[in-house]
Chains A and B, each alone.
Chain A
Amino acid sequence: MTRLVPVFVSILIAVLLTSILTLALGESPLVVAEVLLRGSIGTPTAFGYTLYYATPLIFTGLAVAWALKAGLFNIGAEGQMTMGGIAMAAVGIVLADLPGFIAWPLAVFAGFLAGAFWGGMVAWLKIRRGVHEVLGSILFNFISYGIAGFVILDLLRNHESQNPETLPIGQSYHLQALSDLVGIGGTSPLNTAFFLALAVALLVDVVLQRTLFGLRIRWTGGAPEFARRSGVSISATTLKAFAISGGIAGLAGASAVLGYMHKAREGFAAGAGFVGIAVALLGGARAWGVVAAAILFGGLQKGSLDLDLDTENISRDLAIVVQALIVLAVASRGALVELWLLLKAKYESSKARQV
């Protein structure tokens, strides 16, 4: 529990700063908080949307967190997500008539493979050519946009539609909406991809904490010299860890592509890969922390849509400000603790002098 406290303090600080900002803009923070709460958890539909927005963030957050454990910084979740989503759509269009029990698992697997391939290439470049993974993964993002454009707008384009999107995927690939399945989420597009995300979170947690492979990853990230001397192959672990990170990010498109739009539309990743970095940081790079952080960010994203409607001076962009403030506060946690200790020491010494 003590580990969690600073994160909550960070969120508190972000809330405080946001309150000052809203006051300065001439709106009551209470009203804004009410709008955000109502918009994100006020109705079953609103909460469904919150979880829908959170779903890709759980995947990308887990991907980034997983890589962090191995001492790697994966900035390429956006590209890996894009490749994964394209692969899912491609399988769903080309093999449209597969029966249901094999169809969607195959698409999900294809998404994982595509993302893993994309991540693996970055790791391979790092191991073989010494290309830093931050540089590699960010450049691979751009390549993925190009490939996505080619596949969506050329190979699999739906010429009947004015929108830049692919043909629809086969019926058997649709991930069911939770509202149809178990009656939750109101009329939101929340679908079974959310459960897939939770399952992956559980898997990540178990593998990292309970398996030898997880131990190797944590050694590689935490004490590479120790890992090397213990006989762990750093390059093999790096390759595997980064490929799996990419694979997890590759699943992030499932919610939109298989669960909601039933096709890949240009720009479906919508920045989830980058927000995932913030989610991983906020979640303390731990699986359940990431899930919680993703739901918080999803709630902000959904709740803020109503700000345009219900306030005069504040627009939905406030959500981005809040997200940024939270990340800043989390990132400067160490400094805050030190500041606190410094103030405490000063206070105590002045007290001592008075006596």
Chain B
Amino acid sequence: MAIRNLLSKKGLGLFVVAGVLVLAAAGCTKKSDGSSGESSGGASGEKANGGEGLTIGLVLDKGGKDDKSFNSAAVAGATRAAKEFGIKVKDVESPDDAAFEPAMRTFAERGIPLVLAVGFAQADALKKVAPSFPNTHFAIVDAVVDAPNVASLMFEEQEGSYLVGYLAGLATKTGKVGFIGGMDVAMIRRFLMAYEAGVKAANPKATVFNGFVGITSSAWANPTRGRELALSQMSQGADVLFHAAGASGMGVFDAVETDRKKATYAIGVDSNQNGIKPGRVLTSMLKRVDNAVYEIIKSEVEKKFAGGPRSFGLKDKGIDYAVDDHNRELVAPYTEKLEKVREDIVAGKILVPDFYKTKEKK
């Protein structure tokens, strides 16, 4: 019946009129929400001593929330925070570069107190949006946006790369190790530079091969090319391969598996990838985007949000390396030395070269 009503002209007319009415109503309520929402939100927040009724907005990168790496990690962190503090998380995936801005604005206009932008591609958009909403808090992952109400969540990737480089240097039998990067950008150069330093620290005579999948964003999703690069480095004698290549890294795991002598190992990145090829993955360098997202939401809930750059590294486990049942035996011989290196980095006794800083000097 309802469908037939819709079909008829009268039905459509009603449909449209209803739509417009609802729209008008929504417009009105939104306005009144905007002013009262903030104050009531603050009051209830204090009462409950937590984030009851709070909503956090998450603007995801083009990869979407099921990319099993970066965006997924951000969603996981936000979900954990949501459960713990009893708050709500809304996320929006952006289909194109022009969509970041309206998504951020929509969140801010609805009085959402904290909006998280996931990924450096959103930096330009956030630069434009943040000044228009001085009372809204923003956070961006992997980029620095200089505004008082923006927290820039940066990761000390070089610390973790140095650490897994050191492990690679210890573990290599041939004295040759490899690195496969995704897109050739400064961030991945940062991985490479520290990785090389780590390898040389453990084994000064070691050779480090490196290769990049490409120079466009499709380089993050080309496992075939990742496999080719890995196989080529293996044919030159590399027996430990570290990848920082997103989904292209899957090809590196495949390549390592082709070694029948089982003497070649891969090192994963970002999330714990030890389980992808159990026994063939030495470890994974963890970049805990989830922890960073969790921390910033926590600070918002506790009303301790502060703008400015915030870095996550070895000291706060924002950067780490993964040890689990898949690789415990593999890394056991080296754990002691690795932990020593970790302590030295945290204590500042080892200065890890940082590609970003060397670039600034030039």
Contact = CB atoms under 8 A, between A and B. Distances in A.
A187 B103 CA distance: 12
A37 B96 contact: no
Contact of B99 (A20, A31, A256, A305): A305
Nearest to B12: A12
Given A270-B96, A301-B95, 8 more contacts: A12-B7, A16-B6, A19-B6, A30-B18, A52-B98, A162-B120, A163-B121, A305-B92
B26 to A, nearest CB: 6
A241 to B, nearest CB: 31
B187 A162 contact: yes
A187 B105 contact: yes
Contact of A149 (B102, B183, B216): B216
B216 A153 contact: yes
Interface in B117-161: 120-121, 124, 132, 143
Contact of A164 (B15, B22, B101, B217): B217
B103 A305 contact: yes
A305 B91 CA distance: 11
Interface string A27-64: 00011011001100011011001001100000000000
B347 interface: no
A266 B90 contact: no
B295 interface: no
B253 to A, nearest CB: 26
A260 B26 CA distance: 30
Contacts of A316: 93, 95
B43 interface: no
B186 interface: yes
A187 B215 contact: no
A125 B3 CA distance: 51
Given A38-B26, A309-B90, A45 B19 contact: no
B98 A256 contact: yes
24 contacts: A16-B3, A19-B6, A20-B3, A30-B15, A33-B15, A34-B19, A34-B22, A34-B26, A38-B23, A38-B26, A38-B27, A42-B26, A149-B216, A153-B215, A154-B215, A162-B120, A163-B124, A164-B215, A164-B217, A187-B105, A266-B216, A305-B92, A305-B103, A315-B93
A283 interface: no
A53 B98 contact: yes
On chain B, which size bracket covers the interface? 35 or more
A33 B92 contact: no
Contacts of A16: 3, 6-7
Pick the 3 closest A-B CB pairs, nearest first: A34-B22, A308-B92, A33-B19
B112 to A, nearest CB: 10
Nearest to A12: B12
A260 B98 CA distance: 9
Contacts of B143: 162
A38 to B, nearest CB: 5
Given A187-B132, A302-B102, A305-B102, A164 B19 contact: no
A189 interface: yes
B106 A306 contact: yes
Nearest to B128: A187
B120 A45 contact: no
B58 to A, nearest CB: 10
Contact of A309 (B23, B106, B186): B106
Most buried by A among B6, B18, B91: B6
Contacts of B97: 261, 265, 268, 270
B6 A188 contact: no
B351 interface: no
B350 interface: no
Contacts of A256: 98
A162 B6 contact: no
Contacts of B22: 30-31, 34
Contacts of A268: 97
Interface in A228-272: 256, 260-261, 265-268, 270
Given A16-B6, A45-B102, A30 B19 contact: yes
Contacts of B120: 162-163
B185 interface: yes
Given A45-B105, A162-B187, A261-B97, A37 B19 contact: yes
A37 B98 CA distance: 19
B243 to A, nearest CB: 19
Nearest to A20: B3
B263 interface: no
B101 A189 contact: yes
